[in-house]
Amino acid sequence: DIVVTQSPDSLAVSLGERATINCKSSQSVLYSANNKNYIAWYQQKPGQAPKLLIFWASTRESGVPDRFSGSGSGTDFTLTISSLQAEDVAVYYCQQHYGPPLTFGGGTKVQIK
Amino acid sequence: EVQLVESGGGLVQPGGSLRLSCAASGFTFSEYWMNWVRQDPGKGLVWVSRIESDESRTVYADSVKGRFTISRDNAKSTLFLQMNSLRAEDTAVYYCARGRGNAFGVWGQGTMVTVSS
């Protein structure tokens, strides 16, 4: 099974500042046939279901603000919120969608400093 | 509006059974792979099972294999999860989620399952 590890567990960022979350997979999630990395990112606000932000490591889901961006390849990935807004307070999860069993990281809680 | 609505959760004793349903609307249900994902109270997300669009193939997490069965009724746009031999560690909020490939593009609001005597 592919183990997905996120860091940090939590972070506090000032409004308008950059937030960076890291995600590492235990093996490469790069599919050579299409050169895509199978990492997704989700945002979960308190009391709500998760929401897909990014898939294939860097493709934003429709409607997701462009302050959210994903990067990385192979086993190391990053979610960046370029200018943190109050509504971005949430827990963020990465997930490998390379193949089953589909596995998530433990989550990163983002708060306002 | 694309929507998934789960139902069927509740309190059940260890060893008992429960059947969850997920009613889909606003999209062509038969075209999508569907999943169940659970979340322990206050904890992270765990994928449970997936069924392909034509009901031909199913996959399960090891923790539920042999106890849970995923199925779907494309004519009624409904996804199911039959849960047998339930354990305390199955206590969680269960979400149905529409596949975006093997990512999860649309989620329901979740239904709570509590396994306790």
Q: Which residue has the tokens 């890291």?
A: A22
Phi, psi values for residue B108, rounded to 5°? -80, -175
| Cα angle B15, B51, A43; round to 5 | 90
Q: Nearest residue on chain A to B109, judged by CA atoms?
A: A49
Q: Cβ A100–B100 below 8 Å, yes or no?
A: no
pLDDT, mean of each 10-residue run, chain A (113 residues): 97 98 98 96 97 98 97 98 98 96 98 97
Q: Which residues in chain B touch residue A98, judged by CB atoms under 8 angstroms apart?
A: 102
> What pLDDT shows up at residue B84?
98
- In tens, the pLDDT along B53-112 reads 987 799 999 999 999 999 999 999 999 999 999 999 999 999 999 998 899 999 999 999
Residues forming a β-bridge with B49: B36, B60
Q: Say yes or no to pLDDT of B46 above 90.
A: yes
3-state SS assignment for residue A36? strand
> What pLDDT shows up at residue A20?
98
> What pLDDT shows up at residue A75?
97
3-state SS assignment for residue B76? helix
Give the closest of B44, B47, B107 to A49, CB-based.
B107
Q: Which of B58, B104, B112 to mutate to test the interface with A (most CBs of A within 10 A)?
A: B104
